[in-house]
Amino acid sequence: MNPYIGHISQMNGIEEHRLVGGKGDGMRLLEVNNGLGLELVVSPDRNNDITRLRFGGINLSYFSPCGYVSPAYYDKKDFLRSFTAGFLTTCGLEAVGTPCVDEGEQLELHGSIANKPVDEVSYKREEDKLVITSVSYDEVIFGRKWKLERILSVSLVENTFTLADTITNANDQKQPLEVLYHMNMGYPLLDEDSVITIPSVDVIPRDDHAKENIDTWMTMQKPEAGYQECCYYHKMKDSDTTVSIYQPKNDIQLSIHYDSSVLDGFVEWKMMGIRDYVLGLECGNCYPDGRDVMRKTGMLKELEPGDSVHYEVTIAVQKGESK
């Protein structure tokens, strides 16, 4: 034990709090501090997603005008009313993206998992990391039955954290599975000077509007009234993929590392509106065009009863730009 300190939380740790007031009233929050400048806020009442991310006291993520919204206020017909965004919103598991009807099932925007509280959550300190473990059951009668086991590991020796999800089909029938890790960059990490690096070999605009602006997919700009979002789909060269955003004013770089042979759908969501100012750097196992479209294109993933799939994403934050 360090003789200079009274309590280990002087250095690092996890503290659990609850919100009071507003639409987030009663929500549990886990505040994580690795003692090296990295701070996360994790929300067990929202799938253990990451609502805030800071480095050295500087905000890195986008927090939408919705603010904190408890699952009690979730309206599946209007996902955007409870889209806190934060650093991470997990989209899925029954659907991602555009509402549609697929094989007779009505599917709404981005699925429902991000608006569900976890069924189990625990946290502990290990020798060189802080670990938060959660289990969610996304199950309905006569329908989908998913088990999501999540391990969030925050390093105590470097400014990195890893999100590891194991998703199991707990149904007696084959089920379609869609997942998108909707990671949202915000001011001051994001502004017109931010440098975006996406090692893609092909960039596909989602629609005609994005196509008109494809020459500027990597260029950020100042907030603009009436801005219409642009979405781009990136095909990666190698499976070992790292995407990054660098802010020269603060000399901070955030990197996202993942296996693009497993998470084979990378989405860049560029939204440069006033107050709606966000850059989504999103890896997933599909594109957000609707499950029916993914089925037609052959990109839809399905799991047999009892089978599991493992997805892992690592985030690193540092001073200075990687060369």
Amino acid at 130: L
50 vs 272: CA distance, rounded Å: 22
Predicted TM-score of the model (pTM)? 0.97
Domains of the chain, earliest start first:
8-319 (2.70.98.10)
pLDDT at 323 over 80: no
Residue range 78-89: mean pLDDT, rounded = 95
CB 53 within 8 A of CB 61: yes
Contacts of 229 (CB under 8 A, 6+ apart): 269, 270, 271, 273
Contacts of 168 (CB under 8 A, 6+ apart): 146, 147, 149, 303, 306, 307, 308
More confident residue, 226 or 75: 226
13 vs 129: CA distance, rounded Å: 9
pLDDT at 1 over 80: no
pLDDT at 67 over 90: yes
Q: Residue 2: its pLDDT value, please?
A: 86
Contacts of 103 (CB under 8 A, 6+ apart): 295
pLDDT at 75 over 90: no
pLDDT single digits (tens) 170-213 = 999 999 999 999 999 999 999 999 999 999 999 999 999 999 99
pLDDT at 217 over 80: yes
277 vs 98: CA distance, rounded Å: 21
222 vs 66: CA distance, rounded Å: 22
Q: pLDDT tier at 167 (50, 70, 90 boundaries)?
A: very high
Q: pLDDT tier at 317 (50, 70, 90 boundaries)?
A: very high
Q: Residue 271: its pLDDT value, please?
A: 98
pLDDT single digits (tens) 12-63 = 999 999 999 999 999 999 999 999 999 999 999 999 999 999 999 999 999 9
262 vs 284: CA distance, rounded Å: 8
Q: Residue 298: its pLDDT value, please?
A: 97
Hey, CA dihedral for 58, 62, 66, 68, is it positive or negative? negative
pLDDT at 156 over 90: yes
SS (H, E, C) the chain: CCCCCCCHHHCCEEEEEECCCHHHCCCEEEEEECCCCEEEEEEHHHCCEEEEEEECCEECEEECCCCCCCHHHCCCCCHHHHCCEECEEEEEECCCECCEEECCEEECCCCCHHHCCCCEEEEEECCCEEEEEEEEEEECCCCCEEEEEEEEEEECCCCEEEEEEEEEECCCCCEEEEEEEEEEECCCCCCCCCEEECCEEEEEECCHHHHHCHHHCCCCCCCECCCCCEEEEEEECCCEEEEEEEECCCCEEEEEEEECCCCCEEEEEEEEECCCEEEEEEEECCCCECHHHHHHHCCCEEECCCCEEEEEEEEEEEECCCC
